[in-house]
Amino acid sequence: MYMRTIVNYRIILLLIIVTAGPLHASADTSSSWIDSAESRYSAAATQYDMEALRNLADVITLKPVDEQKKPRALLLHGCVLWRLQLIAFCKNSEKDILRYGKVSVKKLKEAETAGADMYLTASYKALAYQLMAGQGINNGAINGPLAAKELKKAQKANPKGYYTLLVEAINANQAPSFAGGSPQKAIVLFEKMISAFPDSVDVKIHLAEAYGKAGRKEDARQLIAPVVKEYPSNLLAWTIADRLAAP
């Protein structure tokens, strides 16, 4: 569930719900500490290791300010915080979903200002806003439009990019009907993504969720079961599987 985008340097990140994949952000120069940090992120994100991710965030904040403020470091920091937000979602902790979401967006905005790839920063900000939007009516009213705004930015930067398409489909699955949301629409988008990205664990998990919302519980269970079996540490897959198993 990942893609490769060539810009100027390599950064290993994991998408919401995902297996590892290299991304690239801006004309930042590689350095040994961030190479190591990216490798640590890859391992921690795959295992949904909250303690390791928190420690990695601390490592970044203890670096000299000029190192912290490089686009590459800011993007990684924002994605570490976003991953912590995703774990909070899986643990059903509204407080931490909002807390990590806000600081993730803040770092990603800084990364974008510093010159990181807008396609990546906008996509991850949209994902963070989407998670916050799911925390009640008030948070939905505030963060839903912000997610839509970031989606438009990602579409402008890379309309056919993996993350752009993923955010668009998740938005269709999560948004209320008056805002254009529809599980049926999401299913169409996710099924197209399955054809284009057949190895994407992320897409399979979200498609299973969309099937469930559309009342296609058996299709959903058949799709999620092999994902849980093959990726037993994928906390999001287990979260969706548990919801689908509920009466």
Query: How deeply is 67 buried, as exposed, middle or buried, from its count of CB atoms within 10 A (0-12, 13-18, 19+)?
Result: middle
Where in the sequence is the domain holding 53, given as residue range(s)?
A: 10-245
pLDDT band at 98 (very low <50, low <70, confident <90, very high): very high
Per-residue model confidence (pLDDT) at position 173 = 94
**Phi/psi of residue 70, each to 5°?**
-70, 145
For the chain, the average pLDDT equals 88
49 against 20, higher pLDDT: 49
**Phi/psi of residue 218, each to 5°?**
-65, -40
Position 222 pLDDT exceeds 50: yes
Instruction: List the end-to-end C-alpha distance of the chain, in Å, as a whole number.
Output: 29
Answer yes or no: are the C-beta atoms of 60 and 80 closer than 8 Å.
yes
pTM: 0.86
Per-residue model confidence (pLDDT) at position 179 = 82
126 vs 156: CA distance, rounded Å? 14
Indicate whether 3 belongs to any domain.
no
Token pair in block for residue 173: 């699955």
Per-residue model confidence (pLDDT) at position 18 = 41
Answer yes or no: are the C-beta atoms of 169 and 189 closer than 8 Å.
yes
Indicate whether 1 belongs to any domain.
no
**Structural domains of the chain, count:** 1
HSE, side-chain direction, 13 A CA sphere, residue 119: 21
Q: Which helix (H) or strand (E) holds 26?
A: none
Indicate whether 189 belongs to any domain.
yes
Which CATH number is 64's domain given?
Answer: 1.25.40.10
Per-residue model confidence (pLDDT) at position 14 = 37
pLDDT band at 247 (very low <50, low <70, confident <90, very high): confident
Position 21 pLDDT exceeds 70: no
Answer yes or no: are the C-beta atoms of 41 and 76 closer than 8 Å.
yes
Answer yes or no: are the C-beta atoms of 161 and 117 closer than 8 Å.
no
% of the chain at pLDDT higher than 90: 82
- Span of 24-33, 122-131, 232-241 with lowest mean pLDDT: 24-33
Position 106 pLDDT exceeds 90: yes
Task: Please state the rounded mean pLDDT for residues 162-183.
Answer: 92
Task: Please state the rounded mean pLDDT for residues 214-242.
Answer: 95
Over residues 36-85, the pLDDT tens digits come to: 999 999 999 989 999 999 999 999 999 999 999 999 999 999 999 999 99
162 vs 165: CA distance, rounded Å? 5
**Phi/psi of residue 20, each to 5°?**
-75, 150
Indicate whether 135 belongs to any domain.
yes
Per-residue model confidence (pLDDT) at position 178 = 85
Position 3 pLDDT exceeds 70: no
Indicate whether 4 belongs to any domain.
no
Amino acid, res. 116: A
